[in-house]
Amino acid sequence: MTQLEAARQGIITKEMETAARDEGVPAEYIRQGVAEGTIVIPANIYHKSLHPYAIGKGLRTKMNVNLGISEDVCNYETEQVKAKLAWEMKAEAIMDLSCYGETAPFREWLVKNSPAAIGTVPMYDVKGVLHKGLKDMTADDLFSVVERHAKDGVDFMTIHAGLNRETAKHIMRNKRITNLVSRGGSILFAWMYMHGKENPFYEQFDRLLELLRKYDVTLSLGDGCRSGSGHDSTDAIQISELINLGELVLRARRAGVQVMVEGPGHMPISDVRMNVEVAKKLTHGAPLYVLGPIVTDVAPGYDHITAAIGGALSASCGADFLCYVTPAEHLRLPDVDDVHEGIVASKIACHAADLAKGVKGAALWDEKMSWARRKVDFKEMIPLAIDPAKARRYRESSKPEDEFTCTMCGSMCPMKTLDEILNNRNPEDDPFEKK
């Protein structure tokens, strides 16, 4: 049975127990959330190296790392380095977005070695698997790629099932600046346009659910109509798809399939809270997975920052799962350094949101750092940093004479000044008391 079916029968699985220990909450809390559909644990029955993580209501904000090859950059050795970096930096999920050639060996390597949940977008892989153009692909062909990924042990899949013919009409009628920026969504739209048919994943949704249930693959309902620019945020196209996604969430739950929903892309800060609240309302509290959101369109090279701003705000408002964005977003395939920068930015966003949400234990980390700073103890501070290696490089690049200060303030360090006064004062002597 799936995690959802077990939870509904009152069974606490070993995956629920592991997730509960990680979160510092009772296993019953996880079970109840999974049963309600407000928590998911992506865990394919064939992913044996998995450390299961729970995503959803009341839990730490989780992070996904995208990687994979393209037609222009196809070095799987580099992608393996990126994956190992993601594991070292405790990313809870990795999505293989490879979209060229034979992808199965790398996907199988990931499943064999990854403690993080593995996700894919099967539509990215249709050309490489089927060796034919979209015009010649049948609905059965598309489903065969989904099943192959499931058999390979993928824990969650992005399927753009909410992009139906009615939503496609909205796309034709409502002109955007950036049209569809979802790669998977645009491929499906093109297939529907070429064939003059309904989206097979919407039309045959029960078939999709039966396939996913067999392997306990978590369905990540993709936002094929997400906005690709601030101008296009929260329009009729996006909302039309979101209404469909809410209906599909209920059908997935009834079928015993765990389900989460992917959220919008680019939007101004003023739209973030409203988008999160509307998405949560229309999709019945399903875990919300967001890319960014990217809060301004003019920062190529720095979109890990624009996304971290949007991610922190959206997660503080109720989003549960952040997809990292690297500095290379909109420019090229990220290299290893880009991946590192993207992970750090996303980890900052996740933790900032957890502080705002009052997630259990989140503030303790900050308090430990604050006490170390009060003591001006860099040997204690640096290991507490999100990126200790970078903190150490900065510290060692400019050392002061006094080990218990830094080259910013030196002898004028406010921590040392106040500690010297307050620790050595006579409690009975208060110079601020009127005499």
DSSP string, 159-188: E-TT--HHHHHHHHHS--SS----HHHHHH
| 262 annotated to bind ligand | yes
CA-to-CA distance for 150 and 144, rounded, in angstroms? 10
Q: Are 386 and 368 in contact, with CB atoms under 8 Å apart?
A: no
Task: Using the predicted structure, report yes or no on whether residue 347 has a pLDDT greater than 90.
Answer: yes
Task: Using the predicted structure, report yes or no on whether residue 99 has a pLDDT greater than 90.
Answer: yes
| 124 annotated to bind ligand | yes
Which of 217, 91, 62 is CA-nearest to residue 155? 217
| 68 annotated to bind ligand | no
Q: What is the pLDDT of residue 361?
A: 92
pLDDT digits (tens, 9 = 90+) for 117-143: 999 999 999 999 999 999 999 999 999
| 33 annotated to bind ligand | no
pLDDT digits (tens, 9 = 90+) for 8-21: 999 999 999 999 99
| 337 annotated to bind ligand | no
CA-to-CA distance for 322 and 260, rounded, in angstroms? 12
pLDDT digits (tens, 9 = 90+) for 391-405: 999 999 999 988 889
The secondary element (H helix, E strand) that includes residue 77 is helix 76-88
Q: Which two tokens stand for residue 161?
A: 């099932």
Helix axes 76-88, 104-113, angle to 10 degrees: 20
| 392 annotated to bind ligand | no
| 99 annotated to bind ligand | no
| 66 annotated to bind ligand | yes
CA-to-CA distance for 222 and 217, rounded, in angstroms? 15
| 149 annotated to bind ligand | no
Q: What is the mean pLDDT of the chain?
A: 96
What's the chain look like in SS3? Answer: CCHHHHHHCCCCCHHHHHHHHHHCCCHHHHHHHHHHCCEECCCCCCCCCCCCCCEECCCCCEEEEEECCCCCCCCHHHHHHHHHHHHHCCCCEEEECCCCCCCHHHHHHHHHHCCCEEEECHHHHHHHHHCCCHHHCCHHHHHHHHHHHHHCCCCEEEECCCCCHHHHHHHHHCCCCCCCCCHHHHHHHHHHHHHCCCCHHHHCHHHHHHHHHHHCCEEEECCCCCCCCHHHCCCHHHHHHHHHHHHHHHHHHHCCCCEEEECCCECCHHHHHHHHHHHHHHCCCCCEEEECCECCCCCCCCHHHHHHHHHHHHHHCCCCEEECCCCCCCCCCCCHHHHHHHHHHHHHHHHHHHHHHCCCCHHHHHHHHHHHHHCCCHHHHHHHCCCHHHHHHHHHHCCCCCCCCCCCCHHHCHHHHHHHHHHHCCCCCCCCCCC
Q: Is this structure's pTM higher than 0.75?
A: yes
| 182 annotated to bind ligand | yes
Domain boundaries, the chain: 3-357, 362-424
pLDDT digits (tens, 9 = 90+) for 225-257: 999 999 999 999 999 999 999 999 999 999 999
CATH numeric code, 3-357:
3.20.20.540
The DSSP annotation for 297-316 comes to SS-TT-HHHHHHHHHHHHHH
| 95 annotated to bind ligand | yes
Task: Using the predicted structure, report yes or no on whether residue 434 has a pLDDT greater than 80.
Answer: no
Q: What is the pLDDT of residue 429?
A: 79
Q: What is the pLDDT of residue 435?
A: 59
Task: Using the predicted structure, report yes or no on whether residue 424 has a pLDDT greater than 90.
Answer: no
| 46 annotated to bind ligand | no
| 160 annotated to bind ligand | yes
| 184 annotated to bind ligand | yes
Q: Which two tokens stand for residue 72?
A: 């222009």
pLDDT digits (tens, 9 = 90+) for 76-94: 999 999 999 999 999 999 9
Q: Provide the percentage of residues in the chain whose pLDDT is more than 70.
A: 100
264 pLDDT tier (thresholds 50, 70, 90):
confident
